[in-house]
Chains A and B, each alone.
Chain A
Amino acid sequence: MNFVTGKHLSRRAMLRGAGVAVALPFLDAMHPAFAGRVKTVHRVAVVYVPNGIIMNQWTPAETGKDYAFTRILKPLEPFRDDVTIITGLANNAASKAQGGGHAKASGSFLSSVPPKYTAGADVHAGTTFDQVAAKTWASETRVASLQLGCEDARMVGNCDTGSSCAYTNSLSWKDPDSPLAVDVNPRSVFERLFGNVDPSLSPEVRARRALYRRNMLDLTRDSAKKLELDLGPADRRKMDEYLTSVHEVEQRMTAVERDTRPPSIDKPAGIPFVFTEYVKLMFDLQAIAFQSDLTRVSTMMIGREGSVRTYPEIDVPDPHHPLTHHRGHPDFIEKVTKINCLHAQLFARFVEKLKSMPEGDGTVLDHSALLYGAALSDGNAHSNVNLPLILAGQLGGADRIGGKHIKLEQSTPVANLFVSMLDGAGIPVEHFGDSTGPLDLRG
């Protein structure tokens, strides 16, 4: 697919002329123009499945190259060379924490910080590694990061006895006190990426409305600042949050104004009724967001941790979570395995989609690090060691990875993988969470 059209070139040149650096998809023809400032964009994504995995159907028997794909991972076989299976990582933070087994697992997974045991409003964990990337690139993309989910969090009541629902409903934490809510509605995700502007309005009207909105935000910022002077510490924190949000919205507006490309997908009407269609749509939105560089960071929870979704379409009418407490019962194990297979199949579609999008000298998949798996291995015992994790795509360094099953030393901190993912994406961190160093996935 050739990106180079007269339209693209002239607009890009215009932007250069205006002295503005904007990240656009890496255009072949533009490479020489940007000599000296060549930067390959690299994406970081996490696709999460809840309640653990039936490990003996997941872990390949052989290590290294030429391993046989297991039942659950079979859908990824066509992408053998793009996939690295990692065995031996552990989430030690969860083992140290107090509280419900599910809350501890998902609440600490991407941060390696044990979450505070509370059902109240004082939830506290750690900044997750994806948000480190998001903050680094926030000024370069329209949206700093996406947090998606495929399970309605409308269930009320305790999510995991004694532990706040915040730990199981969110994967990404902006800072230790701020879990980021997931968006479960594709229409809403679309609006986040492309704005909610009525396409029937003329550009002139749209510009005027944007101007008014900017003014509105300015003056409300002033009133928040004035309010702060008179308020107590707790209220001031609320106003700070408000001011930060105003700032971020203004940044987004600026980014949207600069890039007026129309979206390449129709606006979804809502949540598709059929589960597989729903998940596919959410993956499509992520793929488009990556391809158009609207964002480079996303985390998606195919189910919230402790998920009770039923899968009648694959003959599993029972809710997911109770099934995973199988006590060795073969019928339960079989049903959970079927769910695990379905999820892997859906993820494989995502991998396929990214592989089908050419970019630079490769594909979008080559410039993405997608982590797929769970924060629990054996859901029956709420085990936090030997986590089921695979990496699709590339880390971003000079060496290519893929095509191997890598077995690491037992209880290697999962944070080591996050260090490698951040390093490869061009964000060299010495250390993250309880990491002991980067991973060598060349095998």
Chain B
Amino acid sequence: MSEGTAGAGPVSADASAAASDSGAALEPVIGLEIHVQLATATKMFCGCELSFGQPPNTRTCPVCLGLPGSLPVANERAVHFGLMIGLALGSQLAPRSIFHRKNYFYPDLPKGYQISQYDEPLCLGGRLGEVRIHRVHLEEDAAKLIHVGESGRIHGSDTSVVDFNRGGTPLAEIVTEPDLRSPEQASEWLRLLRATLRQLGVSDVNMEEGSLRCDANISLRPAGSEELGVKTELKNMNSFRFIERGIRAEIERQREIIESGDTVVQETLHFDPTTRSAGGGAGAITSLRSKEQAHDYRYFPEPDLLPVAIDEAMRQAAREAMSELPAQRAERYRRELKLSADSAQLLAFRSELGDYFEAAHAAHADPSPPAQALANWISGDLAARLGDGEDPAASRVQAPALAALVGLVAAKRVSVGAGRQVLDKLVAEGGEDPAAIVEAQGLASLGGEDELGAIVAAALAANADAAERVRAGNEKAIGPIVGAVMRETKGRADGTEVTRLVHEQLGI
């Protein structure tokens, strides 16, 4: 639920109308609200251990069942993790933070209120990448409600079953400002956030299992406008793919409404990827609006909890617990290893590639590979062979072996093409010594200049016409000559060296 201002500030009824009048291009404005289950040992306000697939209703106590007379006591480590998230996002850590009660009735909410934070959240403001953070606050998760249909047990109505194992799990809710402009940008940024949270070690950040959940606030406005249009809140997007698809579908839905001259209604929507939309695309968007939605949460300060005073010791403990974050890692790769900005970001934000890169770099292969070449091989050839998202550490290719291979290529002892053949073999079979593979397959670059020189001379003689055109200045004509050399050497020759020798022998 939106406590923040993400998605839209004061709703402007005119923004959409103006857009349809002028026919100006419409720009999506997207803000995200992310709920992160914190990886504490116990729940937010009681000593029950968090549930990981335990039998239903076996992780409960008087507090998380909301039994009469029970009282909440806040988990110290959840506050600590909240502060770490705040530091990672560059937020201001509140000197004092208070819990509120958010009152509403639902079977998954045992007390009739959720303990959350309202006007004094733990962290305020901040930024991650190009997106500003509005706030970060702590709250408790709801229980799990499973609809079972007509069970016959409860007379005259369909039945749901409540499992309170999840109820009370600590959550950090991260609310962004409406700084995102496309579905792709939203999912890309969420990947960065996930990498950041994983690096912090504060959550399992598993979208499929629900430890990272994302809602999006979406509105459209005429490109260039500063005003915000009417926003809708899109819930239930439990994978990166669904986030892109859901946001895209909602943008299209709003675009059609505005272009037909109607007005978008502010409401909460549900994205169901398993169904088809009216337009035939995958994933239908349905409104959660019903007569029950007239929410009035009656927030007031939780009298059972004291304000949390964030003292210097707590801030210091959070700082000390922080490991290097993706943004810092990218900066280190640029500064210390002189990687290009793109390579640095890619390795840092996909931390499994970054970790592998560092392992390879630390292997001290001889000849040693330049860092940039290593980065290119990992993010290019290796990643492409392993397939989307696979962690190279889990493949057969050992990081020191890859480092050795890249070292050989960089030292021109193996050509790029031959190097790729060696990599194929490493991916398929593993192995510790790429030099041995080079040896066994006869893939070594041709040793002396004399040997290669003779082959080049023979190729020039066999392709006299092409040689003449190259001499006349037509560089493209060099192809058949180089091709002949490569055929003769079975790809072991270094292409650059071949070109150099062709030029040399032609006297240009």
Q: Are A and B physically bound partners?
A: no
Query: Contact residues of B with A, CB < 8 Å?
Result: none
Query: Contact residues of A with B, CB < 8 Å?
Result: none
